[in-house]
Amino acid sequence: MRDALRHAAGPVGALALALIVSSFVMLAFHTNPIAAFGALLHGAFGSKQGSAETLVQTTALLFAGLGVAVAFRAGLFNIGAEGQLVAGGLSTAIAGAALHAPAIIEIPLCLLAGAIGGAIWGGIAGVLRARFGASEVITTIMLNYVAFLGSSYLVSGPLRGDLSAPETAPIAATAVMAPIIANTRLTAALPLAILLALYLWWWLGRTVAGYELRAVGKSERAARYAGVDPRVVIVRAMLMSGALAGLAGATEVLGLLHRFNAELSPGYGFTSIAVALLGATNPIGVIFSALFFGALQNGALAMQSLAGVPKDLISVVEGLVILFVAARKLPVGLMLARRPARIEGDS
């Protein structure tokens, strides 16, 4: 427990600093930060609909954030969650339109299709890294473009299901994930994502495969010494990472859009990088940071209409969080995370 608090101290401190600095930005715009954050909070949690919508956003961020986090643990910087999300969403939309099975079979199959689509997209970067040493940062960014433009071509041409708009044909009725709370858009995807987060937490910390993944992330040489082939682990980590991001796209399609089109993601895949960082790449931490960013994004509209603060300011908050988390070695780090290590022992 004390350990958990200690691990949480860094991200929470970064968060606090980000909020303080953005308050000053608001003051510079002659708005009252307290009123603005109050409006944001109201928008995010003030009503049943509002809360549910926050959780809807949380769900996508959680899936994708877990994906980015697992790659981080293997020492990989997966910038391509957005592209993997698109690949997963498209795969699910194709499967959902093509298959006509009872929901109990159809939905899992469609989710699987999304996971596989995302896994392939992530796996490409993994293989390029493991086989040729190509930096996954570069390849995942480029694969994002391939996914955006490729899917846009497909829904405008070969896969166009409706002549009025560039989108795929709607998925079968049995593929639709229905809301679990009436009059909201919240589906079973959220509990599924939380279960996955818990499983991933257990998997990373308690299984041999998770141990080896972390070992590769910390020291490739030590992993090799321990009989681990880092190439295998890198490909596996990118497959997992892509599959998780793909599930974000899959659940969006099955629960919200019921087809694939350009509205699939408002940039969940990019925000998920901040989610993973703020969650300190710990799956449990990612649950909380996904909720935080979900509330931020969902509350932004209310903040704009009620407090007159442009909702783009939320991007500033996001950017500041990343900045302060990444700069943990700077003043926050010194205040919160003084490490007695190295000196404690003696030689």
**Residues in 283-342 at the binding interface with another protein, rule: CB under 8 A:** 340-342
- Nearest CB to another protein, comparing residues 149 and 195: 195
Q: What is the amino acid identity at position 328?
A: R
- Classify residue 280 as left (phi > 0), alpha (psi -120 to 50) or beta: left
User: C-alpha dihedral over 271, 276, 278, 281, to 10 degrees?
Assistant: -170
Residue 230 beta carbon to another protein: minimum distance, rounded to whole angstroms: 12
- Classify residue 245 as left (phi > 0), alpha (psi -120 to 50) or beta: alpha
Residue 130 beta carbon to another protein: minimum distance, rounded to whole angstroms: 16
Total binding residues for another protein by CB under 8 A? Answer: 29
- Nearest CB to another protein, comparing residues 28 and 208: 208
Phi, psi at 27, each rounded to 5°: -60, -40
Block residue for tokens 């391509």:
80
- Asked if 213 touches another protein (CB under 8 A), the answer is no
Which window, 155-163, 175-183, 204-212, 284-292, contacts another protein (CB under 8 A)?
A: 204-212
- Nearest CB to another protein, comparing residues 30 and 206: 206
- Asked if 214 touches another protein (CB under 8 A), the answer is yes
Among 165, 207, 232, 326, binds another protein (CB under 8 A): 207
Neighbours of 322 (CB within 10 A): 17
Residue 15 beta carbon to another protein: minimum distance, rounded to whole angstroms: 23
- Asked if 224 touches another protein (CB under 8 A), the answer is yes
Among 171, 215, 264, 307, binds another protein (CB under 8 A): 215
- Nearest CB to another protein, comparing residues 96 and 217: 217
Among 27, 105, 229, 334, binds another protein (CB under 8 A): 229
What is the three-class DSSP state of 37?
A: helix
DSSP states of 171-191: PPGGGPPPBSSTTS--BTHHH
- Nearest CB to another protein, comparing residues 12 and 209: 209
- Asked if 282 touches another protein (CB under 8 A), the answer is no
> Minimal CA–CA distance to 19: which of 44, 41, 37?
37
- Asked if 222 touches another protein (CB under 8 A), the answer is yes
Phi, psi at 46, each rounded to 5°: -75, -15
- Asked if 218 touches another protein (CB under 8 A), the answer is yes
Neighbours of 211 (CB within 10 A): 16
Question: Is residue 102 within 8 Å of 232, Cβ to Cβ?
Answer: no
Binding residues for another protein, rule: CB under 8 A, are 3, 206-212, 214-215, 218-219, 221-229, 340-347
